[in-house]
Protein backbone atom coordinates (compact mmCIF):
# COMPACT_ATOMS: atom_id res chain seq x y z
CA UNK A 1 0.00 0.00 0.00
CA UNK A 2 1.22 3.50 -0.76
CA UNK A 3 2.19 5.67 2.18
CA UNK A 4 0.44 8.97 2.07
CA UNK A 5 1.37 12.45 3.16
CA UNK A 6 -1.85 12.50 5.14
CA UNK A 7 -3.44 9.34 6.44
CA UNK A 8 -7.06 8.74 7.39
CA UNK A 9 -8.63 11.24 9.75
CA UNK A 10 -8.15 10.85 13.51
CA UNK A 11 -10.74 8.64 15.13
CA UNK A 12 -12.17 10.74 17.93
CA UNK A 13 -13.43 8.87 20.92
CA UNK A 14 -17.00 9.97 21.26
CA UNK A 15 -19.78 8.58 19.15
CA UNK A 16 -22.36 11.08 20.34
CA UNK A 17 -23.51 14.14 18.42
CA UNK A 18 -22.49 16.30 21.38
CA UNK A 19 -18.92 15.08 21.23
CA UNK A 20 -18.85 15.27 17.46
CA UNK A 21 -19.58 18.97 17.48
CA UNK A 22 -17.24 19.54 20.40
CA UNK A 23 -14.31 17.84 18.72
CA UNK A 24 -15.01 19.09 15.19
CA UNK A 25 -16.77 22.46 15.26
CA UNK A 26 -17.46 22.40 11.54
CA UNK A 27 -20.87 23.43 10.24
CA UNK A 28 -22.80 21.66 7.53
CA UNK A 29 -22.11 24.59 5.23
CA UNK A 30 -18.38 24.20 5.84
CA UNK A 31 -18.63 20.51 5.09
CA UNK A 32 -20.30 21.28 1.78
CA UNK A 33 -17.61 23.82 1.00
CA UNK A 34 -14.99 21.20 1.86
CA UNK A 35 -16.51 18.73 -0.56
CA UNK A 36 -16.15 21.12 -3.45
CA UNK A 37 -13.23 23.30 -2.31
CA UNK A 38 -10.57 21.39 -4.25
CA UNK A 39 -12.76 20.14 -7.09
CA UNK A 40 -10.84 22.48 -9.42
CA UNK A 41 -7.68 20.41 -8.87
CA UNK A 42 -7.53 16.86 -10.13
CA UNK A 43 -5.62 14.24 -12.13
CA UNK A 44 -3.94 15.69 -15.18
CA UNK A 45 -3.66 19.23 -13.84
CA UNK A 46 -0.29 20.96 -13.74
CA UNK A 47 -0.02 23.03 -10.56
CA UNK A 48 2.03 26.18 -11.01
CA UNK A 49 3.81 24.68 -14.01
CA UNK A 50 5.71 22.24 -11.78
CA UNK A 51 3.56 19.61 -10.07
CA UNK A 52 1.69 17.19 -12.34
CA UNK A 53 -1.30 15.87 -10.36
CA UNK A 54 -1.67 12.10 -10.71
CA UNK A 55 -4.40 11.17 -8.22
CA UNK A 56 -6.21 12.28 -5.08
CA UNK A 57 -4.90 10.38 -2.07
CA UNK A 58 -7.23 11.61 0.65
CA UNK A 59 -9.61 14.40 1.56
CA UNK A 60 -9.97 15.72 5.11
CA UNK A 61 -11.56 18.62 6.90
CA UNK A 62 -8.51 20.81 6.71
CA UNK A 63 -6.74 19.62 3.57
CA UNK A 64 -6.78 17.34 0.57
CA UNK A 65 -3.71 15.45 -0.55
CA UNK A 66 -2.66 14.46 -4.05
CA UNK A 67 0.06 12.28 -5.47
CA UNK A 68 1.97 14.26 -8.07
CA UNK A 69 5.19 14.32 -10.08
CA UNK A 70 7.63 17.14 -9.48
CA UNK A 71 8.50 17.89 -13.10
CA UNK A 72 11.66 19.69 -12.03
CA UNK A 73 13.13 16.47 -10.62
CA UNK A 74 10.91 13.70 -12.01
CA UNK A 75 10.25 12.42 -8.49
CA UNK A 76 6.85 11.57 -6.98
CA UNK A 77 5.67 13.94 -4.27
CA UNK A 78 2.62 14.61 -2.11
CA UNK A 79 0.82 17.93 -2.54
CA UNK A 80 -1.27 18.98 0.46
CA UNK A 81 -3.88 21.63 -0.36
CA UNK A 82 -6.10 23.37 2.21
CA UNK A 83 -9.71 24.15 1.24
CA UNK A 84 -10.17 27.69 -0.03
CA UNK A 85 -12.52 28.56 2.85
CA UNK A 86 -9.92 27.60 5.46
CA UNK A 87 -7.37 30.14 6.63
CA UNK A 88 -3.74 29.56 5.76
CA UNK A 89 -2.37 29.98 9.30
CA UNK A 90 -2.04 26.27 10.06
CA UNK A 91 -0.36 25.52 6.75
CA UNK A 92 2.04 28.43 7.11
CA UNK A 93 3.09 27.09 10.51
CA UNK A 94 3.44 23.56 9.14
CA UNK A 95 5.55 24.89 6.27
CA UNK A 96 7.69 26.88 8.70
CA UNK A 97 8.27 23.81 10.85
CA UNK A 98 8.81 21.52 7.86
CA UNK A 99 11.46 23.79 6.40
CA UNK A 100 13.61 23.19 9.48
CA UNK A 101 13.55 19.41 9.29
CA UNK A 102 16.21 17.14 7.82
CA UNK A 103 16.32 13.73 9.45
CA UNK A 104 16.07 10.18 8.15
CA UNK A 105 13.17 9.51 10.54
CA UNK A 106 11.05 12.49 9.45
CA UNK A 107 9.17 12.96 6.20
CA UNK A 108 10.97 15.62 4.16
CA UNK A 109 9.33 18.77 2.89
CA UNK A 110 9.98 19.98 -0.66
CA UNK A 111 10.74 23.72 -0.75
CA UNK A 112 8.50 25.83 -3.00
CA UNK A 113 8.85 29.60 -3.31
CA UNK A 114 5.64 31.19 -2.03
CA UNK A 115 5.96 33.88 -4.69
CA UNK A 116 5.20 31.37 -7.45
CA UNK A 117 2.27 29.72 -5.73
CA UNK A 118 -1.17 30.35 -7.19
CA UNK A 119 -2.77 29.06 -3.98
CA UNK A 120 -1.62 27.82 -0.55
CA UNK A 121 -0.21 24.29 -0.51
CA UNK A 122 2.61 22.17 0.89
CA UNK A 123 4.76 19.58 -0.85
CA UNK A 124 6.45 16.60 0.81
CA UNK A 125 8.34 13.58 -0.41
CA UNK A 126 6.21 10.61 -1.46
CA UNK A 127 6.86 7.50 0.60
CA UNK A 128 6.33 3.93 -0.53
CA UNK A 129 5.14 1.65 2.23
CA UNK A 130 2.29 1.64 4.76
CA UNK A 131 1.42 3.12 8.13
CA UNK A 132 1.87 1.42 11.48
CA UNK A 133 -1.89 1.75 11.86
CA UNK A 134 -2.39 -0.35 8.73
CA UNK A 135 0.11 -2.88 10.04
CA UNK A 136 -1.66 -3.21 13.39
CA UNK A 137 -5.03 -3.57 11.69
CA UNK A 138 -3.52 -6.42 9.65
CA UNK A 139 -1.62 -8.32 12.35
CA UNK A 140 -3.22 -7.16 15.63
CA UNK A 141 0.00 -6.78 17.60
CA UNK A 142 3.75 -6.91 17.11
CA UNK A 143 6.29 -9.05 18.90
CA UNK A 144 7.81 -7.33 21.90
CA UNK A 145 11.22 -7.22 20.21
CA UNK A 146 9.82 -5.62 17.04
CA UNK A 147 7.77 -3.12 19.03
CA UNK A 148 10.75 -2.02 21.12
CA UNK A 149 12.98 -1.73 18.05
CA UNK A 150 10.38 0.34 16.20
CA UNK A 151 9.87 2.66 19.16
CA UNK A 152 13.62 3.12 19.52
CA UNK A 153 13.77 4.37 15.92
CA UNK A 154 10.86 6.70 16.58
CA UNK A 155 12.70 8.02 19.64
CA UNK A 156 15.60 8.99 17.37
CA UNK A 157 13.25 11.09 15.24
CA UNK A 158 11.49 12.61 18.26
CA UNK A 159 14.81 13.47 19.88
CA UNK A 160 15.78 15.30 16.69
CA UNK A 161 12.46 17.22 16.69
CA UNK A 162 12.72 18.12 20.35
CA UNK A 163 16.28 19.36 19.97
CA UNK A 164 14.90 21.69 17.31
CA UNK A 165 12.21 22.85 19.77
CA UNK A 166 9.38 21.13 17.90
CA UNK A 167 6.60 19.09 19.50
CA UNK A 168 4.75 16.86 17.04
CA UNK A 169 1.60 16.75 19.21
CA UNK A 170 -0.03 13.92 17.25
CA UNK A 171 2.23 10.86 17.55
CA UNK A 172 0.11 7.80 16.77
CA UNK A 173 0.22 4.68 14.57
CA UNK A 174 -1.43 6.53 11.68
CA UNK A 175 1.42 9.07 11.62
CA UNK A 176 4.21 6.51 11.75
CA UNK A 177 5.20 5.14 8.36
CA UNK A 178 6.91 1.82 7.71
CA UNK A 179 8.64 2.48 4.43
CA UNK A 180 9.51 0.00 1.71
CA UNK A 181 13.21 0.78 2.12
CA UNK A 182 13.07 -0.36 5.76
CA UNK A 183 13.11 3.11 7.29
CA UNK A 184 10.55 4.43 9.76
CA UNK A 185 9.25 7.98 9.33
CA UNK A 186 7.10 10.37 11.35
CA UNK A 187 4.70 12.34 9.16
CA UNK A 188 1.95 14.95 9.38
CA UNK A 189 3.02 18.10 11.19
CA UNK A 190 -0.39 19.70 10.83
CA UNK A 191 -0.76 20.46 14.54
CA UNK A 192 2.93 20.47 15.50
CA UNK A 193 4.01 23.31 17.77
CA UNK A 194 7.19 25.07 18.73
CA UNK A 195 7.94 24.46 22.40
CA UNK A 196 7.02 28.00 23.39
CA UNK A 197 3.52 27.55 21.99
CA UNK A 198 0.42 26.32 23.81
CA UNK A 199 -1.89 23.52 22.82
CA UNK A 200 -5.48 24.17 21.89
CA UNK A 201 -8.04 22.15 23.81
CA UNK A 202 -9.13 18.89 22.17
CA UNK A 203 -6.60 19.18 19.31
CA UNK A 204 -5.03 15.85 18.56
CA UNK A 205 -6.20 12.26 18.58
CA UNK A 206 -7.88 11.46 21.93
CA UNK A 207 -6.64 7.86 22.20
CA UNK A 208 -3.03 9.10 22.28
CA UNK A 209 -3.31 12.54 23.91
CA UNK A 210 -1.39 13.29 27.11
CA UNK A 211 -3.36 14.62 30.10
CA UNK A 212 -1.90 18.11 29.74
CA UNK A 213 -2.90 18.11 26.08
CA UNK A 214 -6.48 17.22 27.00
CA UNK A 215 -6.47 20.22 29.36
CA UNK A 216 -5.16 22.50 26.61
CA UNK A 217 -2.08 23.34 28.67
CA UNK A 218 1.39 23.98 27.32
CA UNK A 219 3.23 20.77 26.59
CA UNK A 220 6.81 19.81 25.97
CA UNK A 221 8.82 16.83 24.74
CA UNK A 222 7.21 14.61 27.37
CA UNK A 223 3.82 15.15 25.70
CA UNK A 224 5.08 13.30 22.64
CA UNK A 225 6.57 10.59 24.85
CA UNK A 226 3.16 9.91 26.41
CA UNK A 227 1.72 9.43 22.92
CA UNK A 228 4.60 7.13 22.04
CA UNK A 229 3.93 5.17 25.23
CA UNK A 230 0.28 4.81 24.21
CA UNK A 231 1.43 3.61 20.79
CA UNK A 232 3.84 1.07 22.33
CA UNK A 233 1.03 -0.13 24.62
CA UNK A 234 -1.15 -0.75 21.55
CA UNK A 235 1.63 -2.40 19.56
CA UNK A 236 2.22 -4.98 22.30
CA UNK A 237 -1.26 -5.57 23.75
CA UNK A 238 -3.45 -4.85 20.68
CA UNK A 239 -5.49 -2.64 23.03
CA UNK A 240 -5.87 1.11 23.31
CA UNK A 241 -5.74 3.02 26.57
CA UNK A 242 -8.96 2.91 28.60
CA UNK A 243 -10.78 0.96 25.88
CA UNK A 244 -12.94 -0.82 28.47
CA UNK A 245 -14.63 2.48 29.38
CA UNK A 246 -17.55 4.06 27.49
CA UNK A 247 -16.25 6.10 24.56
CA UNK A 248 -17.37 9.42 26.06
CA UNK A 249 -15.22 8.81 29.16
CA UNK A 250 -11.94 7.66 27.64
CA UNK A 251 -10.32 11.04 27.06
CA UNK A 252 -11.08 12.36 30.55
CA UNK A 253 -10.07 9.07 32.19
CA UNK A 254 -6.38 9.86 31.74
CA UNK A 255 -6.85 12.98 33.88
CA UNK A 256 -8.01 11.05 36.94
CA UNK A 257 -6.52 7.59 36.62
CA UNK A 258 -4.09 5.21 34.97
CA UNK A 259 -4.60 2.69 32.16
CA UNK A 260 -4.77 -1.01 32.90
CA UNK A 261 -1.36 -2.64 33.29
CA UNK A 262 -0.16 -4.09 29.95
CA UNK A 263 0.42 -7.43 31.68
CA UNK A 264 -3.32 -7.68 32.21
CA UNK A 265 -3.63 -8.38 28.50
CA UNK A 266 -0.23 -10.03 28.05
CA UNK A 267 0.57 -12.02 31.21
CA UNK A 268 3.99 -13.14 30.00
CA UNK A 269 5.17 -9.55 29.39
CA UNK A 270 8.40 -8.90 31.25
CA UNK A 271 8.23 -6.48 34.22
CA UNK A 272 11.00 -4.43 32.60
CA UNK A 273 9.04 -3.80 29.39
CA UNK A 274 5.93 -3.01 31.40
CA UNK A 275 8.02 -0.54 33.40
CA UNK A 276 9.08 1.23 30.18
CA UNK A 277 5.51 1.56 28.95
CA UNK A 278 4.11 2.81 32.25
CA UNK A 279 7.04 5.21 32.73
CA UNK A 280 6.12 6.90 29.44
CA UNK A 281 2.41 6.92 30.42
CA UNK A 282 2.77 8.63 33.79
CA UNK A 283 0.00 11.18 34.32
CA UNK A 284 2.37 13.92 35.45
CA UNK A 285 4.99 15.00 32.89
CA UNK A 286 7.59 15.18 35.65
CA UNK A 287 7.14 11.45 36.26
CA UNK A 288 7.75 10.48 32.62
CA UNK A 289 11.02 10.05 30.76
CA UNK A 290 12.79 13.43 30.60
CA UNK A 291 13.69 12.97 26.93
CA UNK A 292 13.30 10.69 23.94
CA UNK A 293 16.97 9.78 24.28
CA UNK A 294 16.40 8.56 27.83
CA UNK A 295 13.44 6.45 26.70
CA UNK A 296 15.47 4.99 23.84
CA UNK A 297 18.22 3.95 26.28
CA UNK A 298 15.68 1.72 28.05
CA UNK A 299 14.11 0.46 24.83
CA UNK A 300 17.40 -0.87 23.46
CA UNK A 301 18.41 -2.53 26.76
CA UNK A 302 15.20 -3.50 28.59
CA UNK A 303 17.01 -6.14 30.64
CA UNK A 304 18.83 -3.34 32.48
CA UNK A 305 15.68 -1.41 33.40
CA UNK A 306 15.09 -1.37 37.17
CA UNK A 307 11.53 -2.33 38.11
CA UNK A 308 10.02 0.26 40.46
CA UNK A 309 6.65 -1.40 40.92
CA UNK A 310 4.69 1.11 38.84
CA UNK A 311 2.20 -1.58 37.82
CA UNK A 312 1.25 -2.21 41.45
CA UNK A 313 0.59 1.50 42.05
CA UNK A 314 -1.78 2.07 39.17
CA UNK A 315 -5.09 3.72 40.06
CA UNK A 316 -8.18 2.98 38.02
CA UNK A 317 -9.97 6.15 36.89
CA UNK A 318 -13.03 7.16 38.90
CA UNK A 319 -15.01 9.58 36.82
CA UNK A 320 -17.26 11.96 38.73
CA UNK A 321 -19.95 11.90 36.10
CA UNK A 322 -20.33 8.15 36.53
CA UNK A 323 -21.37 8.76 40.15
CA UNK A 324 -23.63 11.72 39.38
CA UNK A 325 -26.69 9.66 38.33
CA UNK A 326 -26.32 7.56 41.50
CA UNK A 327 -26.11 10.69 43.64
CA UNK A 328 -29.21 12.08 41.97
CA UNK A 329 -31.11 8.88 42.63
CA UNK A 330 -30.10 8.83 46.31
CA UNK A 331 -31.09 12.47 46.72
CA UNK A 332 -34.44 11.79 45.09
CA UNK A 333 -35.08 8.81 47.36
CA UNK A 334 -34.35 10.96 50.40
CA UNK A 335 -36.46 13.87 49.17
CA UNK A 336 -39.62 11.93 48.34
CA UNK A 337 -40.43 10.91 51.96
CA UNK A 338 -39.86 14.50 53.14
CA UNK A 339 -42.21 15.89 50.52
CA UNK A 340 -44.85 13.27 51.31
CA UNK A 341 -44.56 14.09 55.01
CA UNK A 342 -45.27 17.79 54.43
CA UNK A 343 -48.11 16.95 52.06
CA UNK A 344 -49.57 14.70 54.75
CA UNK A 345 -49.34 17.51 57.34
CA UNK A 346 -51.02 19.93 54.95
CA UNK A 347 -53.90 17.50 54.45
CA UNK A 348 -54.36 17.09 58.22
CA UNK A 349 -54.55 20.87 58.75
CA UNK A 350 -57.39 21.08 56.28
Q: Is 170 a catalytic residue?
A: yes
Asked if residues 252 and 209 have their Cβ atoms less than 8 Å apart, the reply is no
Which listed residue (170, 220, 224, 298) is catalytic?
170
Strands 166-167, 129-131: pairing is: unpaired
Asked if residues 227 and 282 have their Cβ atoms less than 8 Å apart, the reply is no
Catalytic residues: 170
Amino acid sequence: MDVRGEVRQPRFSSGSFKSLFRDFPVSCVQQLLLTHSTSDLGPGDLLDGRFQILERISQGRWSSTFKAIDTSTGRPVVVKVPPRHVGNTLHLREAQIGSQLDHVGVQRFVPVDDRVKSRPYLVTEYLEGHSLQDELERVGSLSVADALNLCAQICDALDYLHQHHIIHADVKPGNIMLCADGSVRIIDFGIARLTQGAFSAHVGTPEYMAPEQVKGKRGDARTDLYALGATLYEMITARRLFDTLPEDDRMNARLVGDPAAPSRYMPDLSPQVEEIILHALARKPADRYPSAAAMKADLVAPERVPVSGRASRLQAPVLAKLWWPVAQLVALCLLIPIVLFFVFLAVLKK
